[in-house]
Structure 1
């Protein structure tokens, strides 16, 4: 089963509330010791399971000569080697196919996308954590919600208004008309998309006064973007962080003092500023000491809301935006359409790494590293998707062996070297 953006919130209604593995309304007020004890019990279960059932982990444990009984709490996690995306990408040794319930995809903000899986329990926990976090904003499934992400048309399904993710003026205008007519109380979507929509509202002097909360996701949120959003929609911004490949997630509550880390779902470690996460539930594809590429900082202050879940601050990978003649193309929108979501026969699996570099005069260089089993059909599909998404640009495809990273190994998914054009949209 694949979860697609157009039905993601309807799926929430099917799963949420009826099925609970943990009473998250109560556990967010547990003492820190109670939360840690809960984590340690779940950790021992997932470690034992992974060693017995997942060859990739059994091999990793054997390499450093440790057994499951050597891991009794989160304090012992350092004994386990760190897991990287490269290790598990297209590697069946880390998967139990019998337990796959949902197929998921990372956005690919480093230019590399990961297909991964979770089992039914992990999926229930994922949705329930999301729902609790969204409730911090005042949202529940009976409220009207507008979503702007990767869709290419406007649609309404029950209480969900799906906006057009394309950011040309004509689509922005249509989106605003739909919002005014639908009058949602909550707005959720890609950071870049909400920001551009907000700028359009302010430029056209449009009044929006019915939104109660804004939830920008999937990209880094900067202060200048936050100010534009809040001014345009006359509503507070609530930050959210989710790394579903690894289980790490956190939400900002009504007090806005940091993001509450959902300790019931995953253990988060900080190593040299980088996040290392262990999913406590996923048996279909366990993530144990997974280095996801994001930066994390544990905040010392406690939130005055009364919840005991610790506060963290997270910074994802930096990316620019592509700017076509008719308007900008956000990083996450480009990830979705430029790399593509689909099954194992789609062009997504034919591309190992991709990088977009914009130069002056709307020149777009697309650097591609193919997977070992890449087919011409996959390449043709990829080219078609990029040309459709980045139409009216001068596109050049470059097939190379590797894309060089920074000194610490980071690869930037989008680089815009037309600084004057880029500044116009900031």
Structure 2
């Protein structure tokens, strides 16, 4: 019943959700060459839109004597300068698409981990894809749509859903419980433990530091909670000590995730623990060397191009 309600709620809010989710689930078995080919096609469509609708990119391409059809592969992204927050701030109006009034979007803001939170617009379609990716990433540990899940985090994990009534609706239709990482005193953590034991979640998802802090409190106070199938950590670096501590207390697998929501990049660890599966349908993730050239070896900076 919970799975049916979950699917129905997502389908009503985001028409086409189930079709896109099924497509993404099939994509994990396609070859890398096919997925990269899809990205190249999406990149060409994006460049056409940017040239036709976004003043900043129209002027930039003309200045560099480029046309949208010059971008045939992911490697062609090197022909563009890296877009920074400072550039956007200095040319804010030039980044507003001419057809913005006809588009459905939500206003978001980054978490501010590199300084001040940065506002951005996110299309409803992009929001839907982000959820499809999240659920597919969780499926690597056996998650199925509608499985009971506890969230422990802040507004970036849907904590800021408005009134208590709205929050309750979210919890019921998504079969989740939301525990705030900003209320981690003795009384709240004891209530969190009670809530988990009543709800008996199959999975737990949240900020790495918050779940680790909670796990240390459970151990120090000799409080037992029902073991989920897996714990998914996000938002912060998961250090080996934290992974081990969470595994020991919750007695389950711990799988890390990487997310750059404003850039569309996401990646998920699976049960083999040999790295992360990088999603390809929502964004292009480049790894570049100090000179800004794409590289597939060694370390580098991540550049994100939302599609």
Question: What TM-score do you get using the length of structure 2 for normalisation?
Answer: 0.81
**Alpha-carbon deviations, 1:35-87, whole Å to 9, x = none?**
11111111100011111100111122233332212211112111111101222
C-alpha change, 1:233 and 1:45, in structure 2 (3 Å) is same
What is the distance in 2 between the residues matched to 1:11 and 1:214? 24
Matches within 5 A, 1:318-329: none
Q: Which residue of 2 aligns with 1:338?
A: none
Structure 2 counterpart of 1:113 = 117
Q: Give the SS at the match of 1:237.
A: strand
Separation in structure 2 between the aligned mates of residue 114 and residue 66 of structure 1, nearest angstrom: 29
Deviation (angstroms), 1:27: 1.3
Instruction: Name the counterpart of 2:137.
Output: 133
1:238 equivalent to 2:255? Answer yes
Question: How far off is 1:11 after superposition?
Answer: 7.1
Corresponding position: 1:208 with 2:212: no
Please state if 1:275 is matched with 2:279: no
**Match of residue 124 from structure 1:** 128
The aligned length equals: 272
Q: Give the number of the structure whose residues are more often helix, by fraction.
A: 2
2:202 counterpart (185, 191, 207): 185
1:10 offset after TM fit, Å?
Answer: 10
Contact 1:188 1:215 in 2 (8 A): yes
In 2, Cα distance between the equivalents of 1:149 and 1:251? 18
Identify the residue that residue 176 of structure 2 maps to in structure 1: 160
| Alignment-derived partner of residue 94 in structure 1 | 95
Q: Deviations over 1:373-413 (max 9, x none)?
A: xxxxxxxxxxxxxxxxxxxxxxxxxxxxxxxxxxxxxxxxx
For the Cα contact (< 8 Å) 1:60–1:81, is it kept in 2? no
In structure 1, the residue matched to 2:41 is 41
Q: Distance in 1 between matches of 2:32 and 2:95?
A: 31
Alpha carbons of 1:217 and 1:21: their partners in 2 closer, same or farther (altered >3 Å)?
Answer: closer
Look up the SS of the partner of 1:20 in the other structure: helix
Counterpart for residue 103 of structure 1: 107
Q: Distance in 1 between matches of 2:153 and 2:213?
A: 12
Partner of 2:31: 31
Matches within 5 A, 1:399-410: none
Helix, strand or coil at the partner of 2:48: helix
* Structure with greater strand share of residues: 1
8 Å CA contact 1:147, 1:189 repeated in 2 = yes
Which residue matches 1:363?
none
RMSD (Å) for aligned C-alpha atoms:
2.4
Quote the offset at 1:239 in angstroms.
0.9
Give the 3-state SS of the residue equivalent to 2:246 in structure 1.
Answer: helix
Offset of residue 212 of structure 1: 0.9
Per the alignment, residue 351 of structure 1 pairs with none
Partner of 2:42, secondary structure, is: helix
Helix, strand or coil: the match of 2:255? coil
Aligned to 2:79: 79
Instruction: Tell me the distance in 1 between the aligned counterparts of 2:207 and 2:118.
Output: 19
CA deviations over 1:137-179 (Å, ceiling 9, x no partner): 2223321111111259997532211113212222111111211
Q: Select the residue among 187, 195, 213 that pairs with 1:196.
A: 213
Give the unaligned 5+ runs of structure 1: 1-8, 281-426
Give the drift of 1:19.
4.3
